A and B are shown apart, each in its own frame.
Chain A
Amino acid sequence: MQYFIQQLINGLTLGSIYGLIAIGYTMVYGIIGMINFAHGDIFMIGAFVALIVFLILSAMFYSVPVVVALLIMMVVAMIMTSLYNWTIEKVAYRPLRGSFRLAPLITAIGMSIALSNFVQVTQGPRNKPIPPLISDVYNVFGISISLKQIVIAVVTIVLLTVFWYLVNKTSLGRAQRACEQDRKMAALLGVDVDRTISITFIMGASLAAVAGTLFLMYYGVVAFSDGFVPGVKAFTAAVLGGIGSIPGAVLGGLLIGLIESLWSAYFSIDYKDVAAFSILAIVLIFLPSGLLGRPEVEKV
């Protein structure tokens, strides 16, 4: 039982990170109907920016409180990845809007390869480690919870709350949802659609940057290729939850995290990716619109 709860906690931690990335996939899909395959690499770049900021901070100051360091890492990573994602949308995706559906998809895959190769060339192909930032571990009834896990949970909850408020209660979020439902009508009501799409890419990138920072803190290591597998898993999470649905992305992320850690715990750790991706295949066959997604056809 303790072992099970332990795995549950590990799974939820991992799932939070997937969930944060998955929101970026699902929002972009919702508003322009494309899968931004470069999003996983945006997450990886977020982790790298956090790493670089950490190295600069530790070189400049003798000691920085961990909370402050983490906050600075996150904020800088958010700004940098936002810049990246904003530029990508403007340069690579916007000119293709209105062309055939496959064009932006292929471009996104190209963008993904370009980004990871760019990081490989400029940062080197090896794993980049950082010393453990937080190492406290608490024991509760024989279950060990690390402070890292608590930080991840708290950051995720705070971020999701802020994000929920933005999307559901502000005029910006309303404009985003309007663009998602009927872009032409939104424009007729004075919504600058291009700007709204840009903001969506920025929001997705910011969440991915936080996920990247948390990932770096949790595992203590990042490599140029780390955008791919977590990226595809987050995409799986978005599909599982129902692509286009934000609560679905979070739910899907948590489920994928749980499946992965429970599978590793009870079956074979080597096959954990197989388990996660089998889910994708099964969901697409039996539940094409996901857990919380809505069917494609709508009554008008």
Chain B
Amino acid sequence: MTGQTALLAVEKVETFYGNIRALNGVDVSVNKGEIVALIGANGAGKSTLMMTICGAPHARSGRIVFEGTDITTMPTHEIARLRIAQSPEGRRIFPRMSVRENLQMGASLDNMQYFDQDVEKVFTLFPRLKERIDQRGGTLSGGEQQMLSIGRALMARPKLLLLDEPSLGLAPLIVKQIFDAIRELNRTEGLTVFLVEQNAFGALKLAHRGYVMVNGAVTMSGSGRDLLANPEVRAAYLEGGRH
């Protein structure tokens, strides 16, 4: 991966909630065409990093660069317009909008120009959404909401897809389905994915590279395979250590 300029570079970023420091000088980079996983325990700051990349909240210090543009202090909606799409923690489906409208919200960056063709792609990945097209988002099951959240992010035609805990609370079969979909998108369309997971095993198997986060700082990084083999990672995240 050396010699390549990163699509996304996060440099020494610190984020605060009030006086509490949630991120403590984080350095992460994501190259074009990669799947990068960020693993760590509850409260390590993974979701905070995802939201900080999108400017909600903004980093108090450090720098975030996307495609050579400094986006550290850019408003959230302008960052989204650079084609960074996120399926955030808790899925955040619009509960009183139909599945169709939720997907339309994702496509609003292009004024719905590509809606028809893109929605077909999303339905190929997640056929369940097609059956639920006119149902209100709030009435979907957890797995369906997760598919919708990812589908909505894909409708924005992202250059970088941020996924926050896509497997949280889902049945193993659906987790596999979602991970397969991510792998497929990466392979066929070269989609760059940065994902946060507590399901470290699945995430590291899926990812090209991984980072381990502890208490708001990155403590380890390496290829997905290396991290999977690393005894410390195994002890902490894979073999029923602290969770």
A: residues with CB less than 8 A from B are 171, 174-175, 177-178, 181-182, 184-193, 298-300
Contacts and interface: CB of A to CB of B under 8 A. Distances in A.
Given A174-B104, A185-B88, A299-B138, A190 B97 contact: no
A187 B80 contact: yes
Interface in B88-105: 88, 90, 92, 94-97, 101, 104-105
A204 B88 CA distance: 32
6 contacts: A174-B97, A177-B96, A181-B96, A187-B80, A188-B56, A188-B86
A189 B97 contact: no
Interface stretch (B18-26, B106-114, B122-130, B235-243): B106-114
For the complex, would chain A's binding face be called helix, strand, loop or mixed by DSSP majority? helix
B112 A187 contact: no
A215 to B, nearest CB: 33
A177 B97 contact: yes
A185 B94 CA distance: 8
B81 interface: yes
A287 B101 CA distance: 30
Contacts, number: 68
A191 B75 CA distance: 11
A190 B80 contact: yes
Contacts of B80: 187-190
Contacts of A177: 94, 96-97
B54 A190 contact: no
Nearest to B82: A190
Contacts of A178: 94, 97, 105
Interface of B: 54, 56, 75-77, 80-81, 85-86, 88, 90, 92, 94-97, 101, 104-106, 108-109, 111-112, 138, 152, 156
A300 B138 CA distance: 7
Given A181-B95, A188-B80, A189-B156, A298 B138 contact: yes
Given A189-B156, A193-B77, A184 B92 contact: yes
A260 B54 CA distance: 51
Given A178-B97, A185-B92, 18 more contacts: A171-B111, A174-B108, A178-B94, A178-B105, A181-B95, A181-B96, A181-B97, A184-B56, A187-B75, A187-B77, A189-B85, A189-B106, A189-B109, A190-B81, A190-B109, A190-B156, A191-B77, A192-B77
Contacts of A189: 80, 85, 105-106, 108-109, 152, 156
**B86, B88, B108, B156: which has the most chain A beta carbons within 10 Å?**
B108
A188 B82 CA distance: 11
Contacts of B85: 188-189
Given A174-B101, A188-B76, A182 B92 contact: yes
Report the 9 A-B pairs with minimum CB-CB distance, sorted nearest first. A190-B80, A187-B76, A185-B92, A181-B94, A190-B109, A192-B77, A187-B77, A190-B81, A190-B77
Contacts of B152: 189
Contact of A171 (B75, B92, B94, B112): B112
Contacts of A193: 77
Contacts of B92: 182, 184-185, 188
A177 to B, nearest CB: 6
A181 B95 CA distance: 7
Contacts of B104: 171, 174
A184 B96 CA distance: 16
Nearest to B106: A189
B77 A174 contact: no
Given A174-B101, A181-B95, A182-B94, A191 B86 contact: no
Contacts of A175: 105, 108
A84 to B, nearest CB: 26
Nearest to A181: B94
Contacts of A298: 95, 138
